[in-house]
């Protein structure tokens, strides 16, 4: 499994995916791709130790990823690891939102393409992602992979986008919820749940479109306000704690809202620069009674 560099939301995505793989006794090796260089040769050598798996994930129901992972138990055997076979591998990429024209993390796909050049029976699985492309075309980085490629979308707008594009026959597009939603509060480093403040957790990056008028909220709020770009916190434990100790959360960060949903906080998700937040809310977060979507680029929303 490949884990590209990311923020705390990406760590939740990885934790959820690892939890599901471990529950199903699926053996894997995690390879972290960070800013420090990792040669293709070293990565390819590491991938040779992966178990041989094939013939998985071929449909498009919302729960298909979990269902097909369950089928791997029968392929692997519950207590055994097959002898690695370099010609039959599954390369699993962590989900997220890095394979789009906003963040342009296509280097990971280019690396995978080089790794599998001499492995015609390899299978590549891209865990649930959100996709956005400036041009209505299938990106070259995807098309360069000739092996069986299964691309999972974590919400319906991304699924409709990919399904509408012409892509090679080896590419299969599916729909499945964000893997962070496999987590429960017991899986997280929650130290306390004081609920003493309202948390406003805005994005301050290229996905940000909301005008956060925090001072206006402070003046009208009876509770203390904590406003912070939570991705600047020192570690995942601090990220979890700042949400766990809030009473209410306002954010345009998808995984702040997912974490708050899991921790049963009153949660309000606002838009980001493309369809990701609203579509993920409609597909998988709407079922949480404590989570709401506010379709506005001003916070607090202007009075009618």
Largest CA distance in the chain: 66
Predicted confidence (pLDDT) per residue in 81-107, tens digit: 333 444 458 899 999 999 999 999 999
Cβ 49 vs Cβ 73: under 8 Å: no
* Closest to 141 in 3D by CA, of 175, 174, 164, 167: 167
What is the predicted pLDDT for the residue at 37? 46
Provide the CB-side half-sphere exposure for 157 (13 A, CA).
14
- Give the residue with greater pLDDT, 112 vs 72: 112
Span 271-295, mean pLDDT? 98
> What domains, with CATH codes, occur in the chain?
2-182 (no CATH), 190-299 (3.40.50)
- Give the residue with greater pLDDT, 195 vs 78: 195
What is the predicted pLDDT for the residue at 269? 98
* Closest to 124 in 3D by CA, of 91, 146, 99, 151: 91
State the Rg of the chain over Cα: 20
Span 225-229, mean pLDDT? 96
Q: Give Cβ neighbours of residue 65 (< 8 Å, ≥ 6 apart).
A: 57, 127, 128, 152, 174, 176, 179
Q: Tell me phi and psi for residue 166, to 5 degrees.
A: -80, 125
Predicted confidence (pLDDT) per residue in 229-248, tens digit: 999 999 999 999 999 999 99
What the block records as the tokens of 221 is: 């709020």
Checking if the pLDDT of 169 tops 50, the result is yes
Predicted confidence (pLDDT) per residue in 153-165, tens digit: 999 999 999 999 9
Strand order of the β-sheet with 246-251 is 225-227, 197-201, 246-251, 266-269, 291-293
- DSSP result, 159-196: HHHHHHS---TTEEEEEB--GGGG--GGGS--------
Checking if the pLDDT of 73 tops 50, the result is no
The whole-angstrom separation of Cα 181 and Cα 183 is 5
Say how many Å lie between the first and final Cα of the chain, rounded. 50
Predicted confidence (pLDDT) per residue in 1-60, tens digit: 999 999 999 999 999 999 999 988 888 889 888 765 444 444 445 444 444 333 332 233
Predicted confidence (pLDDT) per residue in 122-143, tens digit: 999 999 999 999 988 888 999 9
pLDDT band at 302 (very low <50, low <70, confident <90, very high): confident
Q: Tokens 């579509």 — which residue?
A: 279
- Would you call the peptide bond into 300 cis, given omega within 30 degrees of 0 as the criterion? yes
- Residue 113, burial from CB neighbour count under 10 angstroms (0-12, 13-18, 19+): middle
What is the predicted pLDDT for the residue at 67? 61
């Amino acid at each position: 499994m490949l884990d590209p560099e990311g923020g705390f939301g990406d760590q939740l995505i990885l934790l959820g995916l690892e939890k599901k793989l471990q529950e199903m006794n699926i053996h894997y090796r995690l390879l972290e791709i960070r800013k420090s260089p990792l040669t293709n040769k070293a990565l390819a050598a590491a991938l040779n130790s992966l178990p041989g798996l094939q013939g998985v994930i071929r449909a498009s129901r919302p729960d298909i990823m979990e269902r097909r992972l369950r089928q791997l138990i029968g392929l692997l055997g519950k207590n055994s690891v097959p002898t690695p076979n370099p010609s039959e591998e599954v390369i699993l990429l962590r989900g997220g939102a890095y394979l789009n024209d906003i963040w342009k993390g296509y280097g990971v796909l280019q690396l995978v393409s080089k790794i599998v050049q001499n492995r015609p029976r390899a299978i590549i699985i891209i865990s649930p992602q959100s996709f956005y492309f400036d041009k209505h075309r299938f990106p070259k980085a995807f098309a360069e992979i000739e092996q069986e490629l299964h691309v999972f979308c974590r919400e319906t707008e991304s699924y409709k986008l990919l399904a509408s594009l012409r892509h090679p026959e080896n590419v299969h597009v599916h729909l499945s919820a964000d893997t962070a939603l496999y987590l429960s509060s017991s899986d997280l480093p929650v130290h306390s749940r004081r609920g003493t403040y309202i948390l406003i957790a805005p994005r301050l990056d290229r996905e940000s479109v909301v005008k956060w008028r925090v001072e206006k909220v402070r003046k009208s709020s009876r509770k203390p306000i904590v406003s912070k770009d939570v991705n600047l916190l020192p570690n995942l434990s601090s990220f979890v704690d700042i949400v766990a100790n809030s009473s209410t959360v306002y954010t345009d960060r998808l995984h702040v809202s997912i974490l708050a949903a899991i921790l049963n906080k009153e949660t309000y998700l606002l838009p980001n620069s493309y369809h990701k937040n609203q579509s993920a809310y409609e597909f998988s977060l709407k079922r949480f009674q404590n989570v709401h979507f506010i379709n506005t680029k001003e916070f607090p929303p202007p009075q009618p």
